[in-house]
Amino acid sequence: MEPNKKAIWNGIIREYRDYLPEISNGNIVTLNEGNTPLIESTNLVDKVGNIRLLFKFEGLNPTGSFKDRGMTFAVSKAKEDGSTAVICASTGNTSAAAAAYAAKAGMKAYVLVPAGNIALGKLSQAMIHNAIVMEVAGSFDDALDLVKEVSKNYPVTMVNSLNPFRIEGQKTAAFEVCEALGFAPTYHFLPVGNAGNITAYWRGYKEFKEKGIVAGLPKMMGFQAEGAAPIVRGEVVEHPDTIATAIRIGNPASWDGAIEARDESGGVIDLVSDADILAAYNLLASREGVFCEPASAASVAGVIKMVERGELEDGDTVVCTLTGHGLKDPDRAISEASETIKVRPVMDEILAVMGFGS
């Protein structure tokens, strides 16, 4: 049989070419990222009432996070420029994506991660894709300062979201949300760390509106972790701290972009506690069947907070980006879950556990 063209997704550059800066075919480095599902929430009515809640599950990208959308473009452009190496600072997901796309491109990847504050799955990805992994005895913010300096002075391309092609690629998630719904949602909730993603979504929504593809725009709702909430507090946080290591950032690079998204859209940037984040993380896994990483659940914790405050109304269409897959941070899942039950390979013991014992 002939390949079914409709069944083939070619990655965000080829699919959204008309909305992205030009790039030649031969330089496209892709793992067919994007085209992630928008999953309808069905089991949280007691928490969120009768809003229509949907999860844009970015954990289903090739390296398990939304970073792939920006990385395909940043690495493709690096290739077009003749670059042979990329570098980034990362709380984990950017480094995993950089390492994978650099491997695909035949480039070297250098990644700087905060020692002791990167989830196991992410570290394993950067390592197996053969990146040079430097564990910096400092914060993400320290690492990003170093990366900026290195890329200014040496022939390596920075692929943090300060690289403009990262934001360009990431905006395609907003396109997908609009296409899946047939309109722009009333609200879009997402976790905020370095603030690149909220900046990118807002750009994507605005572009679809300007082109007349959708009539409206969502209010952009960004949520930081309580211990790492510089934008909410209006000042740099010197020692950010949260269990959501992905967003453990005290001085976001796209601070201005986040403020602009909030103010232009009439949205909010607020904070949620680690306890709220973990409660949402557990609810998603146990009731919705969706396993995301803790930072991702900050968006849902934000929805619950806004519902409790009476900010959202029945009938509103609310999209939450779940930025990364739960398998990124298996240690957290195991520490949050109930214990396993040790049994011998004996039927009576199995039945007793199941409540079928005599």
Task: List contacts with ligand F0G (CB under 6 A).
Answer: 65, 67, 90-94, 161, 191-197, 246-247, 293, 295-296, 323-324
Q: Which is nearer to ligand F0G, 235 or 348 (CB)?
A: 235
Cβ pair 86, 74 in contact under 8 A: yes
User: Smallest distance from the beta carbon of 182 to ligand F0G, in angstroms?
Assistant: 26
The neighbour count for residue 47, using CB atoms within 10 Å, is 17
Q: Which is nearer to ligand F0G, 238 or 313 (CB)?
A: 238
Nearest to 319 by CA among 58, 9, 29: 58
User: Smallest distance from the beta carbon of 61 to ligand F0G, in angstroms?
Assistant: 11
Nearest to 48 by CA among 310, 227, 237, 296: 310
Q: Which is nearer to ligand F0G, 11 or 193 (CB)?
A: 193
For residues 124, 150, 74, 131, the Cα torsion angle rounded to the nearest 10 degrees is -20
Q: Which is nearer to ligand F0G, 15 or 329 (CB)?
A: 329
Q: Which is nearer to ligand F0G, 50 or 335 (CB)?
A: 335
91, HSE (Cβ side, Cα atoms, 13 Å):
27
User: Smallest distance from the beta carbon of 322 to ligand F0G, in angstroms?
Assistant: 9
Q: How far is CA 75 from the centre of its chain?
A: 18
Backbone φ, ψ for residue 223 (5° rounding): -125, 125
Nearest to 269 by CA among 280, 288, 255, 285: 255
User: Smallest distance from the beta carbon of 231 to ligand F0G, in angstroms?
Assistant: 10
User: Smallest distance from the beta carbon of 153 to ligand F0G, in angstroms?
Assistant: 22
